[in-house]
């Protein structure tokens, strides 16, 4: 058992408005009334059960729905994400199976809604969350996304709804981009272009009233696979920061601290004004002079602008914003 696991991760989840409770090694909740645990009770439990090695959360109470995939077969996961929609947060459980997390949208708890698929929809009850150790001592791992993605989860597509509306029949009617988007999702879990081609062909036949010509499908497959192998396929992989090559060339080698500061500011403060004072340097464990020098480099290069100088007292900090010249 890792000392302090529940205590640490209770706080991490609480930062995203998710109340957790301790779970025993048998995957059973260690407390009563666990489906009603709120933020205050959760923080109190962290003091009493700080060393617990498993974390649980009530789905409905925390507005989370989990697609519980009871097989380690990645093809089943890929097909489920196509059917129910992409999500930036995917977990591999201690037994090697998968969880795909969504924003709760009224789903109940449905065990094997389709008897032919090893999948449960958990919109009620509770789930064991990462990085729990589980009954086998193997930790649950987040394999896609991070806790920040819990703040912007998509809702799940209805299990009974068609994966896509039937598009019109003519060339240029939307079939090509629809297939391309699906191929990007398929590519994420395809071992090679041949497997992607098989999925694309099957999707083309089953989802369009008039399937696209085979030659056109192959072009779409080739394009999607190029995105995958060149690292340009971001479908279902969560939020990210994109830094232009010119910016990297200009900053990374000459001013690595300024480059690191720019990356962090784009990660946390894109599209809004923010406080940038000595307290931020302390948060980064940087010396004040190092922080100031990095900030000044970004200002001099026109990547950062001071919109309010502050200085009228302790409650009047300087306010900054990233400039339009910095793209995300």
What is the rounded distance in angstroms from the CA atom of residue 176 to the CA atom of residue 179? 5
Residues 267, 213, single domain; the answer is no
240 in any annotated domain: no
Residues 22, 130, single domain; the answer is yes
75 in any annotated domain: yes
C-alpha 65, offset from chain centre:
14
Please give the average pLDDT of every successive group of 10 residues along the chain, which has 328 residues.
Answer: 76 96 88 93 94 94 95 89 91 93 92 84 94 85 93 80 40 74 84 87 80 90 89 70 78 89 86 84 90 93 89 83 68
Residues 122, 9, single domain; the answer is yes
Residues 92, 218, single domain; the answer is no
DSSP string, 289-321: HHHHHHHHHHHHTTSEEEEE---SSTT---EEE
Domain boundary (152, 184, 204) is at: 152
Confidence (pLDDT) at 132? 94
Residues 202, 292, single domain; the answer is no
Q: pTM of the entire structure?
A: 0.53
Q: Give the Cβ contact number of residue 230 at 10 Å.
A: 8
167 in any annotated domain: no
Residues 309, 254, single domain; the answer is yes
Confidence (pLDDT) at 240? 64
Structural domain total, the chain: 3
Residues 315, 273, single domain; the answer is yes
Q: Residue 114 sits in which domain range?
A: 5-152
Confidence (pLDDT) at 153? 94
Confidence (pLDDT) at 163? 36
Confidence (pLDDT) at 247? 81
Name the region of 141 (left: φ>0; alpha: ψ -120 to 50; beta: rest). Answer: beta
**Residue 258, domain CATH:** 1.10.10.10
């Amino acid at each position: 058992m890792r000392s302090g696991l529940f205590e640490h991760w209770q706080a991490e989840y609480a930062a995203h408005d998710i109340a957790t409770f301790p779970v025993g090694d048998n995957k059973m909740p260690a407390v009563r009334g666990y489906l009603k645990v709120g933020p205050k009770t959760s923080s109190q439990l962290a003091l009493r059960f700080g060393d617990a090695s498993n974390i649980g959360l009530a789905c409905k109470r925390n507005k989370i729905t989990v697609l519980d995939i009871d097989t380690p077969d990645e093809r089943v996961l890929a097909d489920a994400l196509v059917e129910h929609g992409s999500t930036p947060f995917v977990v591999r459980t201690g037994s090697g199976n998968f969880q795909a997390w969504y924003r709760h949208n009224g789903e109940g708890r449905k065990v094997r809604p389709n008897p032919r698929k090893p999948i449960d929809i958990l919109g009620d009850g509770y789930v064991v969350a990462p990085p729990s150790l589980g009954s086998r001592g193997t930790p649950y791992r987040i394999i896609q996304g991070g806790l920040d993605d819990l703040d912007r989860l998509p809702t799940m597509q209805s299990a009974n709804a068609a994966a896509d509306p039937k598009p019109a029949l003519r060339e240029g009617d939307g079939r090509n981009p629809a297939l391309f988007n699906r191929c990007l999702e398929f590519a994420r879990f395809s071992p090679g272009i041949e497997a992607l081609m098989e999925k694309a062909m099957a999707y083309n036949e089953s989802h369009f009233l008039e399937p696209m010509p085979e030659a056109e499908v192959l072009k779409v497959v080739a394009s999607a696979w190029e995105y995958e192998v060149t690292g340009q396929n971001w479908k279902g992989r969560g939020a990210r920061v994109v830094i232009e090559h010119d910016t990297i060339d200009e900053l990374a080698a000459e001013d690595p601290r300024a480059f690191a500061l720019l990356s962090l500011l784009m990660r946390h403060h894109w599209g809004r004004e923010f406080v940038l004072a000595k307290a931020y340097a302390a948060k980064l464990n940087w010396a004040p002079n190092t922080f100031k020098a990095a900030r000044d480099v970004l200002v001099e290069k026109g990547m950062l602008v001071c919109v309010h100088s502050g200085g009228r007292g302790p409650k009047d900090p300087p306010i900054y914003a990233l400039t339009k010249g910095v793209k995300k």
